[in-house]
Amino acid sequence: MQDIFDKVESVFGKESALGRNVKMFLSQRYTGEKLKDIGTHFGIGESGVSQVSRRVNDKIRSDKKLRRKIRKIEKKLNV
């Protein structure tokens, strides 16, 4: 997960709320970690991780800038 965090921070900055949400979204999508474990890292429950991921996914569909940023991160992660 740390690699995802580093790449997201390089694009969104360290203190970005959207960046935090993207970290959760990408962690859920690519790490295979349980929602509970991801949530523990961020101090929220597993349902919270699921909701954040769903919201980010919805936002990606409507926001071209965000979609480009996430693609950039995915390329850096080789996924």
CATH code, domain with 32: 1.10.1750.10
Block residue for tokens 């790449």? 7
Model pTM score: 0.94
Question: For the chain, how many structural domains are there in total?
Answer: 1
User: What would the pLDDT profile of 57-66 be if each residue is shown by its tens digit?
Assistant: 999 999 999 9
Buried b (16+ CB within 10 A) or exposed e, 59-75: bbeeeeebeebbeebee
> What letter represents residue 73's amino acid?
I
User: What would the pLDDT profile of 18-57 be if each residue is shown by its tens digit?
Assistant: 999 999 999 999 999 999 999 999 999 999 999 999 999 9
Q: Tell me which residue range forms the domain holding 23.
A: 2-77
